[in-house]
Structure 1
């Protein structure tokens, strides 16, 4: 099945610069319907108010981290199957394992290119 390039995507990061970078990379890949949230609580409110096709979230944020957001998404019956990609500057094995155990669909280490993002999203969404 072809990926809907117009599906709503929520990107979550507390750094405006990173939001802009991820938005630009997604647009370069052909995605056009992109919303932003600056922390996990903001993201959760947006997720409950609109149906998204994908979440790309930073790990390290306050007051709710990306990991806590992932746990809340997976615990919510209406959101639990939502594709979720975690982005972080930390490459600690225990973080990757914790995210996998919590139900993350993929994990990206910063910094990353459009090619890396596309490869990771292909494993989550399929070819596009």
Structure 2
């Protein structure tokens, strides 16, 4: 979790009011961007179950093995297409900054998302 209990997704809200309810299954992400932010937060807090549950079944791995030496430091959302509560597809381009074994690095991706039966899923890089 971020400093002062702030959500790692970068919105500046407390984790318990932002991505926490999504991780706990009390809310669903309303947009592709909200899902992407909640997935970033799941990586940051080590929530493998949430990551697998929000991965589309057609591309979902059977398991994840998150590296405890990798620390996610901040997220930049660069752009998005579609992905609203009234659409069924969307993309979100982002930079996810992290430290691994003391070295800084960044994951830059344009992710594809689909909404099925009102639920957003991560599919793959676009």
Between structures 1 and 2, the one with greater helix share: 1
Between structures 1 and 2, the one with greater strand share: 2
> Please, what TM-score do these two structures have when normalized by structure 2?
0.32
